[in-house]
Amino acid sequence: MSVIKMLKVTVLTHEHDIESVMEGLQEAGVLHISPLKEMSGAASRHGGTGDAVDQCEQLERLVHALGSVAPAPVSQQVDDHPVRKVIELVEDLVNRRKDLVRREDTLGRQIQELKPWGAFDPKAVDELRRSNVPVTFAILTREQWSLVHKDAWAFGVMRETDEASWVVFFGAEPPELPVTPVELPDKPLPELKEEREELRAQIAELNREIGRFAHFAPLLRGRMDSLKDRVALLEALDSTAVDTPLVALRGYVPVRESLDLQRSLRPYKVLMRLEEVEPDDSDVPVMLKNNWLVAGFEAVLQTFSGINYREKDVTWAVGLLFIIFGSLCLVDAGYGIMLLATGIALAFRGQKDFGRVFLFTGLVTIPLGLLSGQAFGLIQGRDFSLGTEPILPLANDPLSAFNFSLVVGGIAMTFSYMIAIWQRGFKTHATGNLLLVLAVGCAAVSALVLPEDQAGVGKLTAGVLGSLALIGWLLFPEPVFGGARVPNIIWTLYSGVTGLIQDILSHMRLFGIALSGSILATVVNQIGMQFPLLVTIPFAVVGHIFVYALALLSLYIHTNRLIFLEVGSKCIDGGHLYYQPLRRGASS
């Protein structure tokens, strides 16, 4: 579990050889290209990147269009056109369909607007207006409708609900309305519906015509993949620097891949230099090395704060915290099984990283839910196993959940400060923070756990640790104000105490989520029991899936909030520059 060491690579070659060199690097697939901005880019001399990107986007759009329709029977397929002609024909068909779909959407909105008004005749309305009989259409809320002087106007209520009224006013002058009158389409509802059906028929005909080219999709997809390789190469060329007749290229390669890089460049006339990464190099990419138990949590780390080359790999810590916080968000054995199943499903669908994240979290949630005596909202001692109590009364006892959240918060913050010291050494304000949280823990244990005759030892230990925390802050304050030592000390004394209280209390959200999920699950069970068994079972299944989906969303959001805000802000510097070598299929 570490950040892979990188070597800085500088390559110098003739300008007329650069594209061949790039293709060799693309075949080797080990060099991460880092842009050189000192001189003009070389890509413009080797074909435009923009043209290749546009062609890729065009092919991707056409492949998607061909996959969106049913293929035509073999007898109706088009086979006598070259690929270039097929691209032109399909592009034309897709654009025509896009235009028709846009018109259909517009008609659909107009139909929805007209439905509350009924099948009125716009020509009759125009005739009334030409006869100096104003006609005003308005949608009024109940409150707005109550403000209208109804005895002063002739009107017709076309539709009325609890929220609004659709009213047509007739009169010598339009009424002073509390809302802007509605402008309706100039066609009646039946005519709009008929026009929409005609458009749908045309769209269906275009879909059938597109389907005659559907068998070209694999060929176009192959061309698209080749173009994506070309785009990757051209973008890498754009990162080089030209000083005619030489071209310079810079990048980074993992130490273990450096021999492969040298072998890949042997056939070409190049000068290559490998050197250690300098402390001021800001564009060093990150490549992580983790075992299969931890590797899945790299995706979580990359999604949020990321990691930079000069800090230690904290993926293992992120994984540990995610599993603990995530399982505490559910505290339900039944939902733990659903989370486990979600992880397996994601893994089978190719999302192996997040699949493992949910799988491991589900494996911990199941025993935690059993210890807490809860499964699908059924509580031990209340709904089953009457007369017994769960080992951890977290599911139905808010006070226990609150107290436990404070313990978890204290442990989590202790963990974060230990990671910070591991990352940056003990000569930082994290040392004082760690001593303070340990002092608070000792004080709590002496007051709540230790017998009275031993409480003095706990209080003395807490006092010593608190004094050491103060000394640590005086010696190593947080450098918020640069070299201004006194302001830094004042800030550290203030933020150290208030920040610790805030961070510990923030962990209460875990049990707020757990308790709300438990309440929702209980409501599903209680409502379901009011129906016959044939209704209860599907209602319970749908209800618990809904509650689980809400719980899963809360789990992911709030777990990562705690990891990367409360904990991570103390010990993760962050960064999103990851090792992405130039290789075949890198963009696919």
Q: Per-residue pLDDT tens for 94-110?
A: 899 999 999 999 888 88
Residue 470 lies in a domain: no
Same domain, 136 and 226: no
Same domain, 74 and 135: no
Instruction: List pLDDT tens digits, range 127-184.
Output: 777 777 777 888 888 777 777 766 666 777 788 887 788 888 776 555 566 667 777 7
Same domain, 397 and 541: yes
Same domain, 96 and 171: no
Residue 168 lies in a domain: yes
**Could you tell me how many residues make up the chain?**
588
Residue 523 lies in a domain: yes
Same domain, 165 and 75: no
- The distance of Cα 379 from the centroid of its chain, to the nearest Å, equals 33
Cis peptide before 116 (omega within 30 of 0): no
Helix (H, G, I), strand (E, B) or coil at 125: helix
Angle between helices 429-448 and 485-506 (to 10 degrees): 40
Same domain, 175 and 195: no
CA distances from 95 to 81, 88, 211 (A): 20, 11, 15
Residue 26 lies in a domain: no
DSSP state of 563: I
Which DSSP helix (H) or strand (E) runs through 6?
strand 6-14
Same domain, 422 and 527: yes
Same domain, 336 and 406: yes
The pTM of this model reads 0.72
Residue 265 lies in a domain: no
Residue 260 lies in a domain: no
Same domain, 324 and 195: no
Note down the domain range covering 146: 120-187
Q: How many domains does the chain have?
A: 3
Q: Does residue 355 contact residue 388 with C-beta atoms inside 8 Å? A: no
Same domain, 354 and 216: no
Which among 167, 187, 207 is the end of a domain? 187
Which among 133, 157, 187 is the end of a domain? 187
Residue 457 lies in a domain: no
Q: Which of 379, 344, 349 is nearest to 360 (CA)?
A: 344
Q: Are strands 246-254 and 32-33 parallel, antiparallel or unpaired?
A: antiparallel
Q: What is the mean pLDDT for each group of 10 consecutive residues in the chain (588 residues)?
A: 90 82 86 70 51 76 85 81 83 90 89 77 76 78 74 74 80 62 78 89 90 84 73 67 73 92 87 86 91 91 91 93 93 94 93 94 94 90 82 80 89 94 91 93 86 82 92 91 88 90 89 88 91 90 93 92 90 90 68
Which among 207, 230, 253 is the end of a domain? 230
Same domain, 96 and 182: no
Residue 16 lies in a domain: no
Same domain, 78 and 147: no
